[in-house]
Amino acid sequence: MFKLALKSVCCSLLFISIGQAQQTGWYAGIEGGYSLLGTEKSVGNPLDLNIGFKNGAVFGGIVGYDYGNYRVEAEVGKHLHNVDHIFVINDGGLGLGGNGLQNTVDGKSNHTRYMLNLVYDIQYLSPDKSIEPFIGTGVGFSNIKWSNISAFNSTVTNDAENVFSYQLSAGVRYNISKSFEMALKYRYFRSIDVDLVDSQNNAFDISYDTHDFLVSFVYHFGQQPSRPRSSFQREPAPAAKEVEARNPIPTTQTEPEVISTGPHKIYYDWDSSEIDEVGQRVIEEAAAEANKGKSVVIELTGHADLSGPEKYNETLSLKRAEGAKTALILEGIEGSKIFVEARGERDPEIPTADGVRERKNRRVVIVIK
C-alpha cells in the first residue's frame, strides 16, 4: 500500500505541469437582452439638456474563433431606446416649453455597433466542469442616431454620427451539448462624445453609454480538441557492431521469451485519474512483460467516457495516460520508451449516449511493441 501511495503522489505532482487540452474552432451566435441607457447630457452653445431614455432592447450577432483559453470575435448589434423625459437647462432658442422637466416628449435613440472583441475564458471553476466564466473587452465604431427627438412638438435633433467606441463584459457560459452553448453576460458599452446638430443647425455634443444584460446562444462548427503530444521522442536503435569471434565457444540456443504485448487496460473512477490497486497490478504486469525485451516501446492511450464537457475529458484522458507513464517509470521502464496519446471521448470501448457515465470507457490502454 505504501508503494501504491508513493506512486499516486508522484503522478499527482506530474499532473501539475501538464498543459490543458484546448478546444479550438469557429463559432457563431446570436444574443439579445435588456439595455439601460439612462440620462445622457447634451451640451452646445447655448443648448444644455439632460435627455432621459427608457430602458430598451439590445440584440446582435457574433462570429469568432475559439483558441481554447481565449476567443477573438467580430460583433454587430443594435440598441433601441425611446425618450422618457427631457430636463431643460437652456433650450438654445428651440422653444421646448421653458426650463425644467418636460414629459411631453417623443423620439428615440437608434444605435448600431461594429466591434472586435477579445474574450478570456476562466476554465473549469464549476464542480462539474460544465460552467465557464469569462471576461472580455472590445473596440470598434458605432453609428449613433437620435431620431426626431422633440419636446412640446419642437424638434431638438434628427441627426447621427459614426464614432469610436469600446466595451467591457463578463459572464458565464454553459455547454448545452457538444456543439451548442448558452451564455449569460453583462456588458458596459461607451462611445466617445457624439457631435450632432440641432434643428437650427447648431452643433452640440452628447454622451452615450449603456449597461446591457444579455442571453446568447452559440453554435460551434465541428470543433475537435487539439491533441497534446508527449514530449518524449523515440530514441534511434543503436548501430549494430560487427564482432569477429576468435575461438568461438559453443553455446546452447535458447528460445526467446514470449512477451504479452497487450492490450493491458487500466480502468478509472468517474472524474478521476488515480490508479487504484487493480490498476496498479496491471501496471506491474505490463512492466514485467516489457522488461522481458530489450528493444520494446510502450504506447499509452488515455480515454474518458461521454459525461462532462468534451475538452475537459480530453485533458482528463491525458492526465490518466501521463499518470500511467509515471507508474511504469517507477517500475523501471525508461521514460524514452513510453509514448503518450490522449483520445478523450473518442473511441469508447462501449458506445453510449452523450452524458452517460461508463467505467469501461474511462481507461488507459497499454500496448507493448
The pLDDT of 47-72, averaged and rounded, is 94
- pLDDT band with cut points at 50, 70 and 90 for residue 23: low
Confidence (pTM): 0.58
Q: Can you tell me the mean pLDDT for 340-349? A: 92
For residue 180, how many other CB atoms are within 10 A of its CB? 14
> Which whole number is the average pLDDT over 106-119?
97
Average confidence score pLDDT of the chain: 84
- Is the pLDDT reported for residue 341 higher than 80? yes
CATH 3.30.1330.60 in the chain, residue ranges? 227-233+260-368
Question: What confidence tens digit (pLDDT) does each residue in 221-278 have?
Answer: 865 443 343 334 444 445 544 444 455 555 555 566 778 888 999 999 998 999 999 9
Structure confidence at residue 15 (pLDDT): 38
| Distance, CA of 19 to CA of 318 (rounded, Å) | 10
3-state DSSP of the chain = CHHHHHHHHHHHHHHHCCCCCCEEEEEEEEEEEEEECCEEEEEECCCEEEEEECCEEEEEEEEEEECCCEEEEEEEEEEEEEEEEEEEEECCCCCCCCCEEECCEEEEEEEEEEEEEEEEECCCCCCCCCEEEEEEEEEEEEEEEEEEEEECCEEEEEEEEEEEEEEEEEEEEEECCCCEEEEEEEEEEEECCEEEECCCCCEEEECCEEEEEEEEEEEECCCEECCCECCCCCCCCCCCCCCCCCCCCCCCCCCCCCCCCCCEEEECCCCCCCCCHHHHHHHHHHHHHHCCCCCCCEEEEECCCCCCCHHHHHHHHHHHHHHHHHHHHHCCCCHHHEEEEECCCCCCCCCCCCCCCCHHHCEEEEEEC
Residues in the chain: 369
CATH 2.40.160.20 in the chain, residue ranges:
25-220
CA distance 101 to 88: 6
| Domain covering 25-220 in this structure, CATH number | 2.40.160.20
The architecture in CATH of the region 227-233+260-368 reads: 2-Layer Sandwich (3.30)
Q: Which residue has the cell 446638430?
A: 197
pLDDT at site 250: 58
Quick check: 59 pLDDT over 90? yes
pLDDT at 178: 76
CB 352 within 8 A of CB 358: yes
Q: What is the mean pLDDT of residues 58-65?
A: 97
The pLDDT assigned to 255 comes to 62
